Structure 1
Amino acid sequence: MPVLRVHGEGTPGVKRLVEGLVEEFQSRGYTLEGEVPDLVFNLIQQEEPRPYRRRSQGTFVVSFLEVPDFPENPIQALYPYLVRALSNQLVAYAPGRGAKFLTLELGHYDEPEGEGFFRRVADRIYPLACSRLVIRNRFEPDLEPELWEGDELTRSLAEAGRRLKEWDLLPAPFPIEEILSPEDLRHVKRLYGIGGLSYGNLSARKDERRFWMSASGVDKANLKEIGRDILMVKDYDPVENAIVLSVPPQVEPRRVSVDAIEHWMIYREHPEVGAILHVHAWMDGVEATPFNFPCGTWELAQAVAEKVRQAPDPARAVVGLKNHGLTITGRSMEEILERIEGRLLRTVPMV
């Protein structure tokens, strides 16, 4: 049985909410008994949002914060609490009004108070809490010497990054370094292997089994160094639950984008796909995934792969990631950019 733990000291309103949610999650098979929790309800307060320091990537932390009302700009006002509390998700609860949810990917959406409130809040948390991260990297220093300086494909990714910046589609990363203490920042980087919070990623197929992909937390408008800015993904190891990468032997590599498992699934199933672009933007009329699974999870990768599979032409698919952005396939990165130029909406609908 999955283990649920309640941590921290919350305000009276948050305590009532969490008590109701504990009963709801127990009805879904969770137990309060166990050493290592799968799910943590972390009760925090505005004056001192204390984190729950998990010991495993597999522990999903939801922090609960009581607010008098919902702020006009929820990202600016509430996102720092999510980061300071080292959370996967933040639930801001305004008694009498309802709950506002924020995720690390900057998704935010509401659930009004009323009939079935505990069940509806649990429905928002449950799919995310059950998802499985695939963010471990295994670096193998076996990249062919002729690729140490890149090739025409890596140059196409670098050019695409520059064009995305010209189109104002590379928003500035949220200043995580300014929010967390050095100790907490080191903890987050160790736990999730991130170099920072940045938006979007690009990849291009090299051959039947391998593809180039942008690294995590790098400036997508300045992709230069192989093994640091762009990496060669060669496989997924299900035993280690790790992405396997070929890197030059003399480079201390960065981790690949957390969406590598999603791109791996698409390339393996659709040989005609030659490139994939992910942006935090939207297009009218796109099909979206049913849940806003966290980036880097097997479940999000499966959901996106299913939408690509259902597309009339999987090599020219545009898939919406609920409350997050778009994944776009193409036969080349240049072809993708030609198709989407002038059609992207910078505001992602939140539902």
Structure 2
Amino acid sequence: MKTFTLHGTANTSFLQWLYAGLKDTFSAQGFHFSDNHEEVIQLVLNFVTPDECRPYRRKAQATFVVSVLETEGTIDNVFKEAYPYLIRSLSNHLLYINHDNDVTTLYFLTPEQGCYRIEYKKGDDEQRLFKAIYDRLEPLALSQLVINNDFQYDLPKPLWKGDSVTNQLSESGKKLDEMDLLPAPFPIDQYLTPRDMRQLHKLYGIGGLSYGNLSARQENNNFWMSASGIDKSNMKTIGQDILYIKGYNEINNQIEVSVPPEIAPKRASVDAIEHWMIYKEHPEVGAIVHIHAWMDGIKATEINYPCGTVELAKTVAQLVREEENPARAVIGLKNHGLTITGTSLEDIFNRIDGKIQRQVPMH
């Protein structure tokens, strides 16, 4: 059963209208409304204000929270004005509503996927607006995150210090760092205070905002991959900087990571599920690089699924499958960045040299 709830107070006439319209729309589309906040809810629409920007207390990791906040007046920079509220409300999405003259703009914001908008004027088709909001949120709310790791202390001793593949990964990490890419589709550190940045790191379980990740096949479907939130220019320690990914346990919904004994491992990148699906299907793929940047003339996903979800991984894998040469594909992730396959890491960096655009287009 698909479940949703509305939390917080709709304290203006517009928000009350929006509250009722969203409740009716999601219910009509097969979601069951629940006001029992002790049960696990899949989607929460959390109404907040600038002064009362309180997080919704999740009962489960899978709960997708969209905070809703209303403002008035001209916006000079929506990122700078809105992102602190996204972080303070500990939300997956922020629906930032701005009234300026006779136009209401609904901005959808998330730390990794950027920003897109819907405009509405009084007299416009109400049902069309509510359906547009539903179409934006429904695929994201029901997507399956794969962010837990199963660390197994069984890495063969000859690999404790790495091998020729990890050496290539380390050298490629330096190349990735030299590209000076943004950690998100926009310079998020310019829009958040140090306190909000700390909150962001805490929320997403990362040691720092990443500008991408990279991996290389070791043998069969196993591969080495950069860990989450690390300095890509200084990858050395196996089990911390570089992880050995063994596979994906569908029953437990966990990425299986083999590490040396007596080490405190770092988490695998949320993109590990995507890399695993590609390596499993395409034996000719020897390496994969993901970056928050763009290139012209590429195929891209139609829905901006959150990173680390099965849905995004399957969508990217499908687009790779459709390429003339899956071993040398460049796939766009809507509002986020690129996934690039290659026969080797050297092959990938040679092909993208001079073609990268630092700014990701938002749709």
Range class of TM-score, shorter chain? over 0.9
- Preserved CA contact (<8 Å) 1:136 1:193: no
Paired residue for 2:209, among 197, 208, 212?
A: 197
In the TM superposition, what is the alpha-carbon distance from 1:222 to its structure 2 partner?
A: 2.1
Paired residue for 2:104, among 90, 97, 102?
A: 97
TM-score (norm 2): 0.90
Structure 1 spans left out of the alignment, 5+ residues: none
Report the AA paired with residue 178 of structure 1: P
1:315-326 aligned at under 5 Å gives the runs: 315-326=327-338
Residue 3 of structure 1 aligns with which residue?
A: 3
Q: Give the distance between the partners of 2:306 and 2:69, measured in 1 at CA.
A: 20
In the TM superposition, what is the alpha-carbon distance from 1:185 to its structure 2 partner?
A: 6.8
Residue 63 of structure 2 aligns with which residue?
A: 59
Residue 222 of structure 2 aligns with which residue?
A: 210
Of residues 31-40 and 311-320 in structure 1, the stretch that sits farther from structure 2 once superposed is 31-40
SS of the residue corresponding to residue 219 of structure 2 reads coil
Paired residue for 2:167, among 122, 132, 155?
A: 155
Residue 33 of structure 2 aligns with which residue?
A: 32
CA deviation vs aligned residue, 1:161-200 (integer Å, no higher than 9, x gap): 2112222125488558933598x67973xxx543343231
Residue 179 of structure 2 aligns with which residue?
A: 167
Q: Give the distance between the partners of 1:185 and 1:138, measured in 2 at CA.
A: 24
Residue 23 of structure 1 aligns with which residue?
A: 24
CA deviation vs aligned residue, 1:113-170 (integer Å, no higher than 9, x gap): 1421111111111110110101110000011122112122222222222112222125
Q: Give the distance between the partners of 1:100 and 1:30, measured in 2 at CA.
A: 23
- Preserved CA contact (<8 Å) 1:84 1:179: no
Of residues 9-18 and 308-317 in structure 1, the stretch that sits farther from structure 2 once superposed is 9-18
Structure 2 spans left out of the alignment, 5+ residues: none
1:136-155 aligned at under 5 Å gives the runs: 136-155=148-167
Paired residue for 1:179, among 186, 189, 195?
A: 195
Report the AA paired with residue 38 of structure 1: Q
Q: Give the distance between the partners of 1:128 and 1:213, measured in 2 at CA.
A: 26
Report the AA paired with residue 9 of structure 2: E
Of residues 157-166 and 234-243 in structure 1, the stretch that sits farther from structure 2 once superposed is 157-166
Asked whether 1:298 is paired with 2:305, we answer no
Residue 115 of structure 2 aligns with which residue?
A: 108
**Alignment CA distance shift 1:69-1:227 (3 Å):** farther
Residue 72 of structure 2 aligns with which residue?
A: 68
Give me the identity figure in percent: 52
**Alignment CA distance shift 1:314-1:94 (3 Å):** same
- Preserved CA contact (<8 Å) 1:11 1:66: no
SS of the residue corresponding to residue 266 of structure 1 reads helix
Q: Give the distance between the partners of 2:232 and 2:202, measured in 1 at CA.
A: 25
Asked whether 1:270 is paired with 2:282, we answer yes
Of residues 317-326 and 211-220 in structure 1, the stretch that sits farther from structure 2 once superposed is 211-220
Q: Give the distance between the partners of 2:304 and 2:139, measured in 1 at CA.
A: 8
CA deviation vs aligned residue, 1:53-100 (integer Å, no higher than 9, x gap): 212111000001112146333222211211111100111012332201
TM-score (norm 1): 0.93
Asked whether 1:341 is paired with 2:357, we answer no
Equivalent pairs counted in the alignment come to 347
Asked whether 1:41 is paired with 2:45, we answer yes
